[in-house]
Amino acid sequence: MNKNKNIGLDEGAMQLIENISSAIEGDEEEEILSFNKMQSDTNVKLISLDMLEDAPAEWNFYKPLPDPKFQSMKESIIESGLFHPILVWEIEEGKRYMILSGHNRKRAYEELLKETGEEKYERISAKVIRTRTMTEQKAKAIVSIGNYAQRNVSATEEFEALKAIYLYNKEELNIKKKAENYEKIEEMTGKDLTTIKRILNLGRLIPELFNMVGGDKQISWVSAQRLVTLSEEDQRWLYENYKDKLDSKKVAKIRKWMERETIKQIFEESKNEYKGVTIYIPKILEKEVKKIVRQWEKANQTTWKYEKQSEEQILKY
């Protein structure tokens, strides 16, 4: 997760919002909605709950807060009020607003109104984006990063959030080169490039395998990179035949040049006999020997385990 997170929108979120949101406050010219302006009282108004609508489900793919955290939010609101206004997009002037960030806070107000009947919960404090240039793509990007910046997300949510930001950069900021886009995402989120690439690579997985990756699931982010090198047909074959045996350790042994029969052996190791051999080589020959070994692996449809120990290099198969 983003190491720069805090309770409100973090710098990465605000940086994106500064790029894609324009505020109109009573004059003809649009001005960029800066961090300071987002925080100023002139941008905040009380909006009736019945004027609010949730962002479409395909935009707001985040799960509701777990009940303990949600109840803590409600208690905090009761005791101290709302610390951070929700963020909304004015769809129809003075009548309809779409929530871009703050769905759980709005839900908390709805429940408190129902439970207490107190009028103070009929309206919620909101920062309003008023703009003639707002597009669905921009709004979706705000939903993605605004929520991503403020919570612990699942592997699926993290992928969807970074994908939305990637598409925004590509379509709205005209960043066509993948490497440049990744760098922009790094700037916006504070997440390192390697992690960004690994996460977005998961878009090449079939849904069934995708749902097995990340967090406390069977396959780690790192091991899943082996799966994205397989064709869709091979991924489906792997899932249908070995879904109950898939784990990080076994998946890490897969190589893109492997044929199905070789992959099959990985998941049916108990049927084969293996002999462990350790080879010690001078460090100066490391690259040359690794190259020879990789060629041998490909020719013989097998893999060696490579380890480091002190100043010597060890190859095991």
Q: What angle do CA 17, 22, 24 make, to 5 degrees?
A: 145
Secondary structure class of 99 (helix, strand, coil): strand
CA 200/CA 163 separation, integer angstroms: 7
Give me the tens of pLDDT residue by residue for the chain, a chain 317 residues long.
344 433 334 444 555 555 544 332 333 233 333 333 434 444 788 999 999 998 887 777 677 778 888 899 999 999 999 988 888 888 888 889 999 888 889 999 999 999 999 999 999 999 888 766 677 777 877 777 766 655 566 777 788 888 888 888 888 789 999 999 999 888 887 888 998 998 899 899 999 999 898 777 889 888 999 999 999 999 999 999 999 999 999 999 998 888 898 899 888 865 555 566 777 778 888 888 888 877 777 766 666 655 555 444 444 44
Secondary structure class of 223 (helix, strand, coil): helix
- Biggest distance spanned by C-alpha atoms of the chain: 79
| Residue of 309, 302, 299, 254 lying closest to 278 (CA atoms) | 309
| CATH class of the domain defined by 11-150 | alpha beta
Paired strand residues for 99: 54, 88
| Contacts of residue 296, Cβ cutoff 8 Å, sequence gap at least 6 | none
The residue behind tokens 């390697």 is 194
* pTM flag (> 0.75): no
Residue 202, classified by CB atoms within 10 Å of its CB into exposed (0-12), middle (13-18) or buried (19+), is buried
Q: Are 108 and 74 in contact (CB under 8 A)?
A: yes
Q: Which amino acid is at 160?
A: E
CA 317/CA 144 separation, integer angstroms: 45
Sign of CA dihedral 107, 112, 117, 123: negative
Q: Are 141 and 164 in contact (CB under 8 A)?
A: yes
User: Residue 58's pLDDT is what?
Assistant: 76
Q: How many CB atoms lie within 10 A of CB 269?
A: 11
Provide the residue ranges of all domains of the chain, joining segments of one domain with +: 11-150, 221-272, 274-317
What single DSSP character describes residue 254?
A: -
